[in-house]
Structure 1
Amino acid sequence: MLYYEDIQIDVVQKYGSYEVTKDEVIEFASKYDPQPFHLDEEAAAKTHFGRLSASGWHSAAMMMRMMVDQMNANKQAGLGSPGVENLRWLKPVYPGDTLRCEHVTLEKRRSESRPEMGIMKGKITVLNQHDEKVMTMESTGLIEVRGD
C-alpha cells in the first residue's frame, strides 16, 4: 500500500493509455454536453474544431479514469479530493487520439486538524499520441498516513 510517507515531491509519474472513440465521444456528449461539434461530424466540420471533438468534460473524465486505474494498480491509500484548480483545455481531443497522463506532486503536508491524513497538491498533464498537451489541471488529494 502506498501512503503519504511514500509520496515524493517533483517526481513525474507517467501512466495511462486511453483510446478515444467516436462512439464514446457522441455518447458522452449526448448525455452531458450536447453541443453540435461533439455530436455531429457535419456540424463539427463547420466550426473551428474542423471535425468531431470530445467535450472538455469528457477529456477530464478520461483523465480521471486513467488516474484511478493508476492509483488502484499502485494500491494507493487515497481518501478522495476536496477539489481542483486551474483546469485548462489546451487542444481539442479527437476520436482516434490516444491519451496518457503525467502527474507530479508539487507539495505535501500533514493535516493539522486530522493528523491521520496527508494533503498533497499536484499537477496533471494529459497528452495525446503526438505528445501535445491537451489538458492540465492542478488538484488537491487526500491520502492516509501510515502512522508513527
Structure 2
Amino acid sequence: MALLRAEDLTIGLEIDLGSYTVTTDEIVAFARQWDPQSFHVDVEAAADSYFGEVIASGLHTLGVLQRLAVLGVYQHWDVIAGRRIRSIELTAPVTGGTTLTGTLVVEEITNRGPERALIAVRGRLHTADRPVLDAVFEMYLRRTA
C-alpha cells in the first residue's frame, strides 16, 4: 500500500489513535532514566506530594502520544522528518492504571516546494473524563511534484 502524501490529507481530518494504559511500574522506570524527580520515581515520597501518588513525567505522556501517532498514522504517511513542536500543554496528571486515548487533527498544510509540504497536526490525549495533553507538531511530508 502506498504511503499517503500531503495532497492526500485535508485540513480538519481527525484520526482516532486508539488507547494505551500506563502502569505505575512503567511510570517509575521511564522517570528513573529520563526525569528522576521524586514524585515520578519514589512511591513513598509521592504519597506526600501535591498529587498524593506517583505521576507520569510530561515527557513520558508525550511519548505515549508519539507512539500512538506513529502506529496509528505516521507509519502510513510519507513523512520526511519532524520540524518542531509548537506547543505542549499538560492539563492533568497521569497516574498508574490510567488509560489514555488519542486523537490527531490536521490543522495546516503548506506547500514548501515541488516535493514537500509542511503539515501541522494537533495531538490530544484524554482519559474517560478529562484531557491530559494537547500538543501541536509540524512535520514535512512528501508531495507529488
Q: Give the aligned partner of residue 138 of structure 1.
A: 136
- The answer to whether the 8 A contact 1:120-1:140 is kept is yes
1:45-80 deviations in whole A, cap 9, x for unaligned? 11111111100000011111111111255x211112
Structure 2 residue ranges without an equivalent (≥5): none
User: How many percent of aligned residue pairs carry the same amino acid?
Assistant: 29
> What CA distance in whole angstroms lies between the structure 2 residues aligned with 1:45 and 1:105?
40
> What is the TM-score normalised by the length of structure 2?
0.92
Amino acid at match of 1:67: A
Amino acid at match of 1:135: L
Aligned residues: 143
**Shift in Å at residue 131 of structure 1?**
4.0
- The answer to whether the 8 A contact 1:16-1:67 is kept is no
Amino acid at match of 1:98: T
Alignment of 1:1-148 (within 5 A): 1-71=3-73, 75-111=76-112, 114-128=113-127, 130-147=128-145
**Shift in Å at residue 18 of structure 1?**
1.0
> What CA distance in whole angstroms lies between the structure 2 residues aligned with 1:6 and 1:134?
30
Q: Aligned with 1:81: secondary structure? A: strand
1:107–1:77: structure 2 CA closer, same or farther, 3 Å change rule? Answer: same
> What is the TM-score normalised by the length of structure 1?
0.91
- The 10-residue stretch of structure 1 (20-29 or 64-73) with the greater mean CA deviation from structure 2: 64-73
- The answer to whether the 8 A contact 2:114-2:144 is kept is no
1:70–1:96: structure 2 CA closer, same or farther, 3 Å change rule? Answer: same
**Shift in Å at residue 115 of structure 1?**
2.1
> What CA distance in whole angstroms lies between the structure 2 residues aligned with 1:45 and 1:94?
12
> What CA distance in whole angstroms lies between the structure 1 residues aligned with 2:140 and 2:74?
15
Q: After TM superposition, what 4+ stretches of structure 1 lie above 3 angstroms from structure 2?
A: none
> What CA distance in whole angstroms lies between the structure 2 residues aligned with 1:106 and 1:72?
15
Structure 1 residue ranges without an equivalent (≥5): none
1:1-39 deviations in whole A, cap 9, x for unaligned? 211111111122111211101111111100010011111
1:138–1:11: structure 2 CA closer, same or farther, 3 Å change rule? Answer: same
